[in-house]
Each structure stands twice: as structure tokens, then as C-alpha cells.
Amino acid sequence: MSTRKSYNEKELASTSITPVSEIEDDVSTNAYSKTKKDQGFFKNFIDGFKPIDLGEIDPNLTDIERANLISARAPLKRGLKNRHLQMIAIGGSIGTGLFVGSGSALATGGPAALVIAWILTGCMMYCTVQALGELCVAFPVSGSFVQYNTRFISSAWGFCMAWNYALQWLVTLPLELVAAAITIDYWNSEVSSAAWVTIFYVLVLFINVFGVKGYGEAEFIFSALKVLAIIGYIILGIVINCGGGPKGGYIGGQYWHHPGAFAAGFKGVCAVFVTSAFSFAGTELVGLAAAETENPRVSLPSATKQVFWRITLFYIISLTLVGVNVPYDDPRLLGNSGAAASPFVISIQNAGIRGLPSVMNAVIMIAVCSVANSSVYGASRTVASLADQGFAPRIFGYIDREGRPLAGVVTSLIIGLLCYLAASSHHDDVFDWMLALSGLSSIFTWGSICACHLRFRRALYVKGRGTDELPFCAQLGIYGSIFGVLLNCLILMAQFWVALFPIGEKANATSFFQVFLCVPVVIVCYVFWVFYKKDYKFFVRSADIDIDTGRREVDLELLKQELAEEKAFIASKPFYYRLYKTWC
């Protein structure tokens, strides 16, 4: 029988059992903090870049066991608070995919295709984030879902997905920096692009000097501004549609009848999926931040639930309004670049509202800076995880005393210098191929997360253990992950069809690989690792999967007791409170 008198929510934040390895890390951190007080600012600043000791590692461990142990020990600083994680979940990766990319998607598929593709991708994304939340709350380790592929599937697949995800974020930084410079052209095109990318590059560099806290605070501000802007547009979009703009005129659903709901039928819907996937890219960063969160058991479940509201409010509703306020045959959707091609800006211009298009352009610029900042965060943590798992030289796993994956940050910033190709006459070709590397990488990432969740649940079953020992369970269980795997496979098949037979064009190798380049890269990585390591295991046997290393709660019986008390407490509350806890 429990000796505790009652359960309350405040206790939940403080009752997680802390393993010995984490206590040792805290002692080390406290000792370092005490030493800092005895030194000057400059000396502290310099010492902060020195490496931190991971301790001894048994040389007899297998590659997978070694990777699990290092990921669990990685001394990333737990500087993200609950408010940071909530805002990252709600608006963290909202960027050009939504504000600008939706314009080309509208022109390619039509308003109905736009809504269908985003709803299906959003449903899959929610299932994926729920599965990721379950894994990350149980195993808040360095590298998170990148490391889960090695743990739950195989080292060969882990190698593929780790490099796939690293390349996605490494090429995103120069792409977003150039996009930021393009947004400035909306106001002033006389200044060289190189000058603007330098300003944005220095801004991203400055933010990341402060480590995870700098990322968290910057994303909190960026995301808050984006959320306010989208809520404002939703209200404005309804007013415009009802004829409330200076030019007046009720619009209603006339653009769904003329020029129509679909621009290219079923094929147009398939073509839009890659843009919808691009717009959701980065949603999984909530999981990557797990190892740097103060209390993942409390904050991560809530953050994963917030993704539902993000998908519903900020994507589905706003894009539905875009589809009814802008006809898909508007030449500006494909004839411009940057903010000038944004359907959000075009709808405001069509209504005759002055000033607000510039406000939306400023929001797009903030969104671009936000994604550029996130790209350094995602790339640096992934590069560090590559080194931890033996997939890259050990130097890339360098983490300093302030908990910054310094080698990863430097690598990301060096590749970010490709942004200066914006001043080249051939920059379009270069960036088209860079975009091709990252275009479908998210599909592989999300499908792998769902597969890892299924393998984890299978391992629990085989070992005779149940979900009652999990601090958080995915709301849709294994069925959500099955849906996620299947839909990601269908999206890949649809993109293969569209890449091979593009809409309105003849089949050609250039257009095919600019859409599908990510797939042969993944295949080459897989084959390379199999033959390099002579590891021919397609997957780790369920009975051999490690489901304990890296867990913060080591007393499972006490954890089960706490979870039972928590459920009983919530069940005793009124219906509206239970509904709130289900979705928030």
C-alpha cells in the first residue's frame, strides 16, 4: 500500500527518480559552476569551450551498446524550460514551407489538393510526434530519434537515417539564409544579397554562442511572433472573404468553382505532398530537445499534444482561407520569388489593404530566421550523435563544458557559408540540388520514428513488460505508428510517380533527381555501411533490443505507482478538466 497520502500535479514535477549517472553529471556540473565563481569573466568564457569528460567506457561493449551508453551520458545542458518546449512545439518550424511554398502548391494542385495534402500529412505528423513523445519521455538521450534507429532497428539503418537527417539540416541553413535575403528584396533589391546573408549569418552565430538557452529564448520569441501573425491572418482572411477589405466584394467559395478545386486532378494532389512534408519539417525537433529539457516527463507529453493545435489552427485553417481567397491560376504564385509569391501576401494585396503586405513580409523574414536557427540546433545535435554512434570521426562529438556540441555547431556554420553562392550567376542550380538532398528526407525520418515505436512496443511485449511502466503513451498506440509508416510509404510512391512523369513536362533525368535524389543517397549509405562493417543484420532481434539504458526513471515499481496515482487523480476531476488534459 502506498504511504503517500495524496497525489497532486506539483508533485509530478519533482517525483521522477534520478539515476546514478545523472546524479554524477549534476555533481560534475555543480563543481564546474563553483569553480566559475572563482575566476574572471574572460577566463570563464574561455574555459567554457574546453571538453567535458564522459568517463570510462567498457571496451568490450558492442557498437550498439556503446552508442546507447554514450547517448545516455552525453552532457548536453538541460536548459530548455517548459515554456520553451511548448512554443517550439506550437510554432517552432513554421517557415517558408507554409508562408511561401504553399503558393506553388496551390498553383500546382488547386485549393482542394492543398487542404487534402496538408490534412493527410498533418494526421501522419500527429501520429509520428505522439510516437516520438512516448520514446523521448522514456529515453531522453542525446541524438534522440536519430539514435533510436540504431537501438530499435539496426546499426545500418541508424547510419542511413543519421546522415539523412544531418544532411537535411546542414543544407537548410544556407537555403534559409538566402531566403531571408530574398525577403529583403521585397522592400529593397538594390543592396547585394551577400550583404544581407552576412547580417543573418552573424545573427544565427550570435544566438548559438549561448548554446541551448540561446536557441530556446530565440525560438520562444520567433514562435510567439509567428503564432500571433497567423492568428491575425485567420481573422483577416475571414474578413477579406466576406468582403470586408477596402476593395470590398464577397468572395465566398467562388474560386473553388472557377478556376476550380483541382488544378491537375489526382496527380496534382500527389505533387503537393512534397511541399506539405517540407512545411512540416522540423516538427520532430521537440524530440531532439528531449535530452536538453529540465523535466521531459512533465513537459514533453504536453508539448507533443500541442502539435494537434498547431496542425489544426495554423496549417489547416490558414490554408483553407488561402484557398478561398486566392485563385490557383494567379500568375504571381509561380511568377515571383520570396514574399511576392506568398498566397498570404497576395490575398492581402487583392483586398486592397496597404501596409499589411509589408507586415507579412516581415513575419516571413522572422520565420526564415527561426528555421535557420533551428537548422543549426538540429544539425549540431545530429552531428554529435553521429560521432557518439561511431558514424563519423570522434571529433564531431566534441561537447564543451557549457553543454554545447561545439564541433557540430562549427560544422553547420561552415557549410552555412554556401549562402554566399547567392551572389553567383549559377546559384539557382546549386540551391535546386541542395534542396533535392533535403526534399524527401523528412519522409524517411518520420517513417523511421514510427517504425522505432513499433519495434519498441514489440520489444516490451517479448520481454514480458507492458506500457504501465511508461511515463507517457502515444494516444493512438501502435495503430497511429502503423498509419504513419504506411502513409510515408504511400507519399514516397506518389513522389516517385510525379518525379518520373512531372505535370506538364516530359520525363527527364534532371527533374526526376531534383525530386527523388534523397532516395538513392539513402540506398548508397545503407549499402556502404553493410559492406564496410560487414554487418548483414536487417534488424535487431526484439529480444535483444535494449529498453533500459538511458531511462531517467530507474525504480520502475515506484514509477508505476506514481503513474497510477496520476491517472486516478485526473479521473476524479470534472469532464472539462479531463478533456483539457487529453489535448493539452
279: closest CA among 124, 165, 436, 442? Answer: 442
Distance CA 430, CA 174 (A): 11
Distance CA 53, CA 310 (A): 39
Backbone angles phi, psi at 149, to 5 degrees: -60, -40
Distance CA 243, CA 250 (A): 4
304: closest CA among 148, 479, 135, 74? Answer: 135
Other CB atoms within 10 Å distance of the CB of residue 154: 22
* Stretch (H or E) spanning 331: none
281: closest CA among 121, 519, 410? Answer: 121
Query: Which pLDDT score, from 0 to 100, does residue 36 have?
Result: 53
551: closest CA among 21, 150, 12? Answer: 21
Distance CA 362, CA 499 (A): 34
Query: Which pLDDT score, from 0 to 100, does residue 280 have?
Result: 84
Output the nine-digit C-alpha cell for 102: 504553399
349: closest CA among 359, 337, 335? Answer: 359
Query: Which pLDDT score, from 0 to 100, does residue 42 have?
Result: 57
Residue 312 has what DSSP assignment?
I
Q: Let me know how many helices (H) and strands (E) the chain has, helices first.
A: 28, 0
Query: CA angle 409-410-411, nearest 5°?
Result: 90
290: closest CA among 111, 507, 124, 449? Answer: 449
Query: Which pLDDT score, from 0 to 100, does residue 342 have?
Result: 87
Distance CA 564, CA 469 (A): 10
Distance CA 539, CA 458 (A): 13
Distance CA 319, CA 261 (A): 13
Query: Which pLDDT score, from 0 to 100, does residue 30 have?
Result: 46
Both ends of the chain: CA-CA distance in Å? 31
Peptide bond into 393 cis (omega under 30): no
380: closest CA among 355, 352, 400? Answer: 400
- DSSP annotation string for 430-459: HHHHHHHHHHTHHHHHHHHHHHHHHHHHHH
Contact 495, 461 (CB under 8 A): no
583, β-bridge pairs: none
Q: Which fold has domain 77-553?
A: Amino acid/polyamine transporter I (1.20.1740)
Query: Which pLDDT score, from 0 to 100, does residue 403 have?
Result: 75
Domain residue extents for the chain:
77-553, 558-583
Distance CA 166, CA 408 (A): 10
Q: Which residues contact 328 (CB under 8 A, 6 or more apart)?
A: 106, 107, 109, 110, 111, 255, 259, 260, 263
- DSSP annotation string for 393-410: -GGGG--BTTS--HHHHH
Distance CA 63, CA 413 (A): 29
Query: Which pLDDT score, from 0 to 100, does residue 539 have?
Result: 85
84: closest CA among 289, 298, 307? Answer: 289
Torsion of CA 15, 16, 17, 21, to 10 degrees: -140
Distance CA 540, CA 563 (A): 30
400, β-bridge pairs: 51
Output the nine-digit C-alpha cell for 121: 500529412
Along the chain (584 residues), what's the average pLDDT of each consecutive run of 10 residues?
39 40 44 52 58 62 64 64 74 77 89 92 89 86 77 90 89 85 77 82 87 82 87 92 85 90 88 83 77 74 76 85 92 77 89 86 87 87 84 84 83 88 69 75 91 94 87 89 93 87 80 83 90 83 85 68 79 79 70
